[in-house]
């Protein structure tokens, strides 16, 4: 796992501890839906934490990404600048797009935060290059 992804995973896990209710992890290989890969670890409160679902923007076009309501989707931007990406969730009651940002010395990938069980189409565009990818998001209980 590269340093940026590791930092993002840690930041998202810390956000869940802070009460945002974020958790979940998986890889997404081309041609398959994201399948959670759970790596449990006990927090100081005794709850089990797992890393986010990780999706590569370069290979997710036309795929289905499944995420639990208590998880998040981390959008790996590869070598591109994380702040160049904009996203839209067709049904904003299902999930919201979170822009990538740089804070202090840490880089945070863009992502998707589920809001309700259901399905929606997500479109993510690089505002500099014009590269656009679209995938279906399914939020489960």
Q: What is the pTM of this model?
A: 0.68
Burial of 36-74, coded b for 16+ CB within 10 Å and e otherwise, reads beeeeeeeeeeeebbbbbbbbbebbeebebbbbeebbbb
Domains and CATH numbers, the chain: 3-140 (2.60.40.1380)
pLDDT band with cut points at 50, 70 and 90 for residue 45: low
Q: pLDDT tier at 51 (50, 70, 90 boundaries)?
A: confident
**Tens of pLDDT along 92-106?**
999 999 999 999 999
Q: Which residue has the higher pLDDT, 101 or 48?
A: 101
Residue pLDDT, tens place only, 12-34: 444 443 333 333 333 333 333 44
């Amino acid at each position: 796992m590269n340093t940026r992804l590791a930092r993002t995973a840690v930041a998202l896990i810390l956000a869940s501890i802070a009460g945002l209710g974020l958790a979940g992890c998986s890889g997404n290989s081309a041609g398959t839906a994201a399948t959670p890969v759970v790596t449990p670890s006990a927090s100081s409160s005794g709850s089990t934490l797992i890393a986010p679902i990780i999706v590569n923007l370069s290979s997710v076009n036309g795929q289905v990404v499944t995420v639990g309501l208590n998880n998040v989707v981390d959008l790996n931007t590869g070598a591109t600048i994380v702040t160049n990406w904009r996203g839209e969730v067709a049904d904003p009651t299902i999930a919201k797009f979170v822009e990538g940002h740089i804070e202090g010395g840490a880089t945070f990938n863009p992502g998707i935060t589920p809001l309700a069980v259901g399905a929606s189409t997500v479109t993510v565009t690089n505002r500099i290059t014009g590269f656009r990818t679209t995938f279906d998001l399914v939020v489960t209980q």
